[in-house]
Amino acid sequence: MAKLYFHIFFLILSNSLIEDVYSTATFTFVNKCKFTVWPGILSNAGISPLSTTGFALNTGESRIINAPTAWGGRFWGRTHCSEDSTGKFSCATGDCGSGKLECAGGGAVTPVTLAEFTLDGDAGKDFYDLSLVDGFNLPMLVAPQGGSGVNCSRAECVADLNGECAPELRVTSAGGERVACRSACDAFRSEEYCCSGAYGKPAACKPSKYAETFKRACPQAYSYAYDDLTSTFTCIGADYIITFCPSPNTSRKSTSGSGGGQNPVSVAGGSNTPFDGNMVYEGALDVSSAASTCAHVVGGGVAVVAAMWRLSQLY
């Protein structure tokens, strides 16, 4: 009898932890906005989707998602989302067109702040960046945990570009709130702004005054297509915390007052939105790398024991 319990115990443990063993990185999404954010996830072409492609993240919540070896794709935050009377889910910014909470292969409608990743690329490095090439909707921070490398550092765009947005680039909600800021490429579609055609080379495509405004506010984010030198980060062996609305840095002049994206938003679908609470760690805002590294080690150890046990069942 004791043996049976032992077997059941390991069966449960191995099934719940085995996912960790095959992941090279964990992404921890944290929402510090004063409103709900619905992260969207799109894998690159030919790369399998992660365990979720879209979910709700309430204020103060965090959620951990594992990524397998060599995963590549992008993350963004959807805002002002709700379900209509027919159950169709849509968002004022970052909408992925699926009509559902999960994006299921849909990319974000511009303008949107993007966090882009290619894990285990050249020389085993993870490549990542924050991009405003498709515009801005939310301040974001990518903070590597426990990795190594000279460019293994925080990429952040803390400024509220919705408040600072030029009138010709502004996107406002039905209620008049500024919810996003378009990039010049997105707004004007010219080769010059999009670095295409005759401007399709780094030497030919210079940042526009719009791109320069983005760059001043968010020096570590891509402001236009060839902004690589100051915007591409690399780590080896890191996990990543992705924070929406990271705390404003007090050393930075805050854009005062109204019209910013920081205002609380009443969201119609807030309570009846389909919500997978399975992996949400409420209030666990300070997720240390030690904890996730530990989970990897424990998960790996258990999986080895479980594999041995499974093998033993063959004989």
Ligand X SMILES: *[C@@H]1O[C@H](CO)[C@@H](O)[C@H](O)[C@H]1NC(C)=O
Neighbour-count burial of 232, counting CB atoms closer than 10 A to its CB (0-12 exposed, 13-18 middle, 19+ buried): middle
Q: How far is the CB of 44 from ligand X (least distance, A)?
A: 21
Q: How far is the CB of 223 from ligand X (least distance, A)?
A: 13
What's phi and psi for 143, nearest 5 deg? -120, 110
Q: With contacts defined by CB under 6 A, name the span among 7-15, 48-56, 225-233, 256-264 that binds ligand X.
A: 225-233
C-beta of 17 vs 152, nearer to ligand X = 152
CA distance 279 to 302: 20
Q: How far is the CB of 251 from ligand X (least distance, A)?
A: 4
C-beta of 251 vs 266, nearer to ligand X = 251
**How many of the other CB atoms lie within 10 Å of CB of 216?**
11
For the four alpha carbons of 192, 194, 195 and 200, in that order, the dihedral sign comes to negative
Per CB under 6 A, 148 contacts ligand X:
no
Q: What is the number of alpha carbons within 13 Å of residue 26 lying toward its C-beta?
A: 23
C-beta of 15 vs 151, nearer to ligand X = 151
Q: How far is the CB of 232 from ligand X (least distance, A)?
A: 6
Q: Per-residue contact track with ligand X, 232 to 271, x per CB under 6 A?
A: xx---------------x-x--------------------
Q: Among residues 295, 297, 298, 153, which one has the least CA distance to residue 238?
A: 153
Q: How far is the CB of 234 from ligand X (least distance, A)?
A: 8
Q: Among residues 38, 7, 1, 15, which one has the least CA distance to residue 313?
A: 7
Contact positions vs ligand X (CB under 6 A): 150-151, 230-233, 249, 251
